[in-house]
Amino acid sequence: MSGEQDMVPETKVLAIASHVSYGFVGNTMATYVMQSLGCEVAGINTVHFSNHTGYRQVKGTKTSAQEIRELYQGLAQSYLTDFDVLLSGYAPSAAAVEAVGDIAEDLKRRAESRPGSFFWILDPVMGDLGRLYVNEDVVPAYKKAIRHADLILPNQFEAEVLSGVKISTVADITAAISAIHATYSIPHVIVTSIQLSRLGSSTPTSTLTVIGSTIRSDGSPRLFSVDVPALDCNFNGTGDMFAALMVARLREAVFTASTTPQLKSTRSWVSPDDVASTDLPLATATEKVLSSMHYVLERTMEARTAELAAAADEQDDTDGSTDEQRQFRKHLRETKAGEVRLIRNVHALRSPKVIFRAREWQSS
Amino acid sequence: MSGEQDMVPETKVLAIASHVSYGFVGNTMATYVMQSLGCEVAGINTVHFSNHTGYRQVKGTKTSAQEIRELYQGLAQSYLTDFDVLLSGYAPSAAAVEAVGDIAEDLKRRAESRPGSFFWILDPVMGDLGRLYVNEDVVPAYKKAIRHADLILPNQFEAEVLSGVKISTVADITAAISAIHATYSIPHVIVTSIQLSRLGSSTPTSTLTVIGSTIRSDGSPRLFSVDVPALDCNFNGTGDMFAALMVARLREAVFTASTTPQLKSTRSWVSPDDVASTDLPLATATEKVLSSMHYVLERTMEARTAELAAAADEQDDTDGSTDEQRQFRKHLRETKAGEVRLIRNVHALRSPKVIFRAREWQSS
């Protein structure tokens, strides 16, 4: 009874992101996801909120940049910084982004003599759908910090902000990723959930595409894509779920890459130029990550439908509340029902049936 | 592939306790333990520390009583308080204990019309080995709050403080538990890890005993004991591990009690008087809890020994540090090596082989 058959190689992760009491986003999502795959996770929480902002009302506090630095100093003074991976997500201010960047630099410095022994995955949480939801000074803070990142996970809007390339056509995606490789020397990029049908592609509107790249030695991108069916629900925390699964699956792919056994001791885990895009550890990891996610989100959809049906039976429309109050109550109920069903579907995190495959991405 | 075969009945838990970035104590321990058994856990963190105090140096912040109340208000305003169980541990001040007590009262009030639908497990964290490690005003705060608790988990010292009975003989244990039942109307009590050999018993010094009781209708205790071998290591977080496992296992035992199917809709899950102490859900849950813990702690001992042996090979005694510095460094190394190995032993949490059995406790 080893119990380890479904677990990834031993991995110690420092996770810096938000914490919510109820539901699954930020570190609350990422911690359990990584733990269930066998990772040891140390969490520094950048906010302490009652729930995620999708509810449209939240109570709680933000962690100051100074408090983030002090928690890290607490780890450092007791020699508790032997992390293999840093995963960083939402930071509530430019100063907090800088603090995270300094922590990453310190961890990189400690690992300098052992190439490949430390890897930083950064989700540059700034906005979505054409709109920033952080202060404007967070953008330059990220542009500075990400130069030390090994893999970044922007959505389409964040890729535009970082690259300076407005993505209006399919070809713009390649240009944006190339610019991110070139401008910031970031070896790995994944742009999460692009709707290609909006960019003039004949891809069905019901398809979301994830496009990733590991840089080649000449600086050019090595692009792959994975299509997944879009689910008709506004989930929260899926970006954090993607990032957390990626920590475990990328390290697993690098450590088990039989054709490139030296990869795990190569700086930033950059595969040799002769590795095809679809054979990249980044690509095979993405296949597993998206397969796990799709299963869990489909189960979440089913559970959501059942929960809302049960709630409808119990509802009382004669309680004297206004239309507006009833609408908001309905919104709260739907948001709660849409919380990702992680706990009871942990088997799909640990042992996904891989149903999505990476293809070489050619934007022409 | 249901993945649920090892999981307890669906259980939504509000967990109020400390959070550490590194290692496993408080909510950091309890959350993962309960999640791995299938519980949904909402956490309100009473401190945000870099590591546990066993390291003898810590950085971080405490949550104020007001912040605890506000996080709960955040849950309440969005209808996110449908908890089956409240698990409460370390609270950093008397005001924080009062806040937790008020939260418990509110949850009890909401569940009033559905007996058995809400249960509060409280670990009255005040001190150990004859010494308080909280402010003195925390004691009366607990004495007030615990009147609403369904199960409390004091250690020997805390049982003395709450009962007013100094435990010097084996018979005193019965007196202390009886007093706790009588004084505070608490239906279930478990006193964790008593060394009976120090109380004049012929039990070997290497044995620790857990003694529990569910009250009878006449107010008398119904006592059982479980012996476990003591492990030669000063673990941190084992009390939190015990409490978290108890949440899942007690609810499981109550919900699957075939001879008393009405128990789960009985106030405070108090078994009928004709149920023998060793057949109590509290007793069978304790057997499973201690069996899981013993396995994990034995694996922790082994891993600790291996980690310290590896560290000894790397050590450099000629680095110019003082004896005192070297001693402290050794202490830090040993404390780190003694962190409970939870992640890779999760199977022993989920599917314990029950190796300890409850016996009827007679102190005469």
In this complex, the residue of A21, A35, A73 whose CB is nearest that of residue B43 is A21
Q: Are strands B40-49 and A151-152 parallel, antiparallel or unpaired?
A: unpaired
Q: Which chain B residue is nearest to residue A15, measuring alpha carbons?
A: B21
Which residues from chain A sit within 8 angstroms of residue B73, using beta carbons? Answer: 50, 59
At A127 the three-state DSSP class reads strand
Domain-located, residue A306: yes
**Can you give the residue range of the structural domain that contains B165?**
12-311+319-360
What would the pLDDT profile of B126-183 be if each residue is shown by its tens digit? 999 999 999 999 999 999 999 999 999 999 999 999 999 999 999 999 999 999 999 9
Residue B1 lies in a domain: no
Residue A5 included in any domain: no
A57 in B contact zone (CB under 8 Å): yes
Interface membership of A348 toward B (CB under 8 Å): yes
List the beta strands (DSSP E) in chain A.
12-20, 40-49, 60-62, 85-88, 119-122, 127-128, 131-132, 151-152, 188-194, 207-214, 223-229, 359-360
* Min Cα–Cα distance to chain A from B31, Å: 9
* Residue B69 near residue B91 (C-beta atoms within 8 A): no
Confidence of residue A216 (pLDDT cuts 50, 70, 90): very high
Distance CA A278, CA A26 (A): 29
Closest CB from A73, A74, A343 relative to B38: A343
Please answer whether residues A9 and A251 qualify as being in contact, where contact means their C-beta atoms are separated by less than 8 angstroms.
Answer: yes
- pLDDT in the model for residue A215: 98
3-state secondary structure of A312: helix
Letter for the amino acid at A11? T
Q: Which residue has the tokens 């809007």?
A: A157
Is residue A180 a part of any domain in this protein? Answer: yes
Residue B326 in this model has a pLDDT that exceeds 50: yes
pLDDT tens track for A245-291:
999 999 999 999 888 899 999 999 999 999 999 999 999 999 999 99
Is A79's Cβ below 8 Å from some Cβ in B? Answer: yes
Which pLDDT value is given to residue B246?
98
In the predicted model, what is the mean pLDDT of residues B91-106?
98
Higher-confidence position of B3 and B278: B278
* pLDDT 10s digits, B289-305: 999 999 999 999 999 99
Q: Which residue has the higher pLDDT, B7 or B205?
A: B205
Alpha-carbon span A14 to A43, nearest angstrom: 6
Q: Answer yes or no: do A48 and B50 touch at CB < 8 A.
A: no
The confidence score (pLDDT) of residue A111 equals 96
Q: How many percent of chain B have pLDDT more than 90?
A: 91
Residue A351 domain flag: yes
Residues 6+ apart with CB under 8 A from B202: none
B10 touches chain A (CB under 8 A): yes
B50 touches chain A (CB under 8 A): yes
* Cα dist from A193 to A206, A225, A290, whole Å: 12, 10, 11
Asked if pLDDT for residue A364 goes beyond 60, the answer is no
Domain total of chain B: 1
pLDDT for the residue numbered B2: 42
- Percent of chain A at pLDDT > 90 equals 91
- Compute the distance between CA of residue B347 and CA of residue B350 in angstroms, rounded to an integer: 5
Find chain B residues with C-beta within 8 A of A38's C-beta: 343-344
Touching check for A325 and chain B: CB below 8 Å?
no
Q: In what order do the strands lie in the sheet with A188-194?
A: A60-62, A40-49, A12-20, A85-88, A119-122, A151-152, A188-194, A207-214, A223-229, A359-360
With a cut of 50, say whether residue B1 has pLDDT above it: no
Distance, in Å, from the CA atom of B301 to the CA atom of B306, rounded to the nearest integer, reads: 9
Q: Are strands A127-128 and A131-132 parallel, antiparallel or unpaired?
A: antiparallel
- Give the pLDDT band (50/70/90) at residue A9: very high
Rounded to 5°, angle at Cα B327 from B322 and B328 = 100
Q: Which of residues A319 and A57 earns the better pLDDT score?
A: A57
Distance from CA of B223 to the nearest CA of A (A): 34
Given a contact cutoff of 8 angstroms between Cβ atoms, the answer to whether B333 and B311 are in contact is yes
DSSP assignment letter at A98: H
Q: Are strands A12-20 and B131-132 parallel, antiparallel or unpaired?
A: unpaired
Over 80: is that where the pLDDT of B240 sits?
yes
Q: From residue A211, how far is each of A174, A222, A249, A290, A355 by CA, in Å?
A: 9, 10, 17, 12, 17
Q: Are residues B42 and A48, on separate chains, in Cβ contact within 8 Å?
A: no
DSSP state of A231: -
DSSP B43: E
* Confidence class for position B233, pLDDT limits 50, 70, 90: confident
Quote the minimal CA–CA distance from B4 to chain A in Å.
6
Question: pLDDT tens, A34-86?
Answer: 999 999 999 999 999 999 999 999 999 999 999 999 999 999 999 999 999 99
Query: Strand, helix or coil at B117?
Result: coil
B219 pLDDT more than 60: yes
Q: So what's the pLDDT on residue A32?
A: 98
Q: Are the Cβ atoms of B22 and A38 closer than 8 angstroms? A: no
Mean pLDDT of B84-108: 98
How far off is chain B from A103, nearest CA to CA, in Å? 14
Please, which pLDDT band fits residue A232 given cuts at 50, 70 and 90? confident
Task: Report pLDDT digits (tens) over B11-66.
Answer: 999 999 999 999 999 999 999 999 999 999 999 999 999 999 999 999 999 999 99
B2 part of a folded domain: no
Please give the average per-residue pLDDT across B310-338, as a whole number.
87
Closest residue in B to A60 (Cα) is B71
Which residue among B50, B71, B75 sits closest to A74, beta carbon to beta carbon?
B50
Answer whether B299 touches A (CB < 8 Å).
Answer: no
Q: Which chain B residues are closer than 8 Å to A69 by Cβ?
A: none
**Percent of chain B predicted with pLDDT > 70:** 97
Per-residue pLDDT of A330-359, as tens digits, reads 999 999 999 999 999 999 999 999 999 999
Residue B153 CB: number of other CB atoms within 10 A?
Answer: 26
Determine the average pLDDT of the residues in B247-261.
Answer: 93
Identify all chain B residues contacting A348, using CB atoms and an 8 Å cutoff.
Answer: 3
Question: Sign of the C-alpha dihedral, residues A15, A19, A25, A31?
Answer: positive
Can you tell me the ipTM of this complex? 0.96
- Number of helical H runs and strand E runs in chain B: 10, 12
CA atoms within 13 A on the CB side of A238: 21
8 A C-beta contact, residue B224 and residue B251: no
Contacts of residue A21 in chain B, CB cutoff 8 Å? 14, 42-44, 71, 74-75
Which of B41, B78, B328 would you mutate first to test chain A, the one with the most A CBs within 10 A? B78
What average pLDDT does the structure give for chain B? 95
* Crossing angle between the packed helical segments B94-110 and B138-145, to the nearest 10 degrees: 10
- B35 close to A (CB below 8 A): yes
pLDDT for position B312: 82
For residue A104, give both structure tokens: 């990453």
Q: Per the CB < 8 Å rule, is A21 touching B4?
A: no
Question: Nearest CA of chain A to the CA of B336: how many Å?
Answer: 8
Contact, A57 vs A30, CB < 8 A? no
* Residue range B342-355: mean pLDDT, rounded: 96
Asked whether the predicted pLDDT for residue A224 surpasses 60, the reply is yes
* Helix, coil or strand: residue B50: coil
Q: Which helix (H) or strand (E) holds A148?
A: none
Using a pLDDT cut of 70, give the percent of chain A over it: 97
- Helix residue spans in A59-216 (DSSP H): 65-77, 94-110, 138-145, 156-163, 170-184
Residue of B nearest to A352 (CA): B1
The answer to the question of residue A1 being in a domain is no
Q: Which residue is it, tokens 């999708």?
A: A54
In a domain, A68, yes or no: yes
Helix (H, G, I), strand (E, B) or coil at B193: strand
The yes-or-no verdict on residue A363 having pLDDT over 80 is no
For residues B335 and A32, give the distance between their C-alpha atoms in angstroms, rounded to a whole number: 24
**Angstrom distance (rounded) from CA B83 to CA B117:** 9
Whether chain B has a CB inside 8 Å of the CB on A291: the answer is no
Residue A31 pLDDT more than 60? yes
pLDDT confidence of residue A1:
38
pLDDT at B321: 86
Structure confidence at residue B3 (pLDDT): 54
Q: What is the CATH number of the domain that holds A291?
A: 3.40.1190.20
Q: Does residue B332 sit at the A interface (CB-CB below 8 Å)? A: yes
CA atoms within 13 A on the CB side of A208: 14
CB contact under 8 A, A74 and B346: no
The answer for residues whose C-beta is within 8 angstroms of residue A199's C-beta and 6 or more apart is A167, A168, A169, A170, A172, A173
Predicted local distance difference test score (pLDDT) of residue B314: 72
